[in-house]
Amino acid sequence: MSNTIEAVHLLEDRLKQLVANYEFLKNENEILLQNTTQLQNKLLEKEHLLAKQKKEYDLLKIAKTIEGSSNNTRDTKLKINALIREIDKCIVQLHK
């Protein structure tokens, strides 16, 4: 009889440990998921910022080319033509 009671108490102790471990791991998992979400949001922000700065860099490069570098006239003409095609695409989309 004593062995049975001891076995039940041992089982209760182990179940309490399992429940405590489960709760700890559950909380830790929630924290890690929140961190992951925050990091993903930061990554998206950085990607948007990078895309914006790349676009600004490209525009600055075009402006510098158009500004008056006589030795890059071919590049300037190509970029102007690309800009005109892009504007034409925008106009076509506006008419739809």
- The whole-angstrom separation of Cα 47 and Cα 54 is 10
Number of domains in the chain: 1
The residue segments making up the domain with residue 60 are 2-95
C-alpha distances (whole Å) from 85 to each of 16, 70, 82, 90 are 70, 23, 5, 9
- In the prediction, which pLDDT does 11 show? 92
pLDDT digits (tens, 9 = 90+) for 50-93: 999 999 998 887 777 666 656 667 777 787 888 899 999 999 88
Beta-sheet strands, E only, within 1-96: none
For residue 94, give the 3-state DSSP assignment. Answer: helix
- In the prediction, which pLDDT does 13 show? 93
pLDDT digits (tens, 9 = 90+) for 7-42: 899 999 999 999 999 999 999 999 999 999 999 999
43 has a pLDDT exceeding 90: yes
38 contacts 28 by C-beta, under 8 angstroms: no
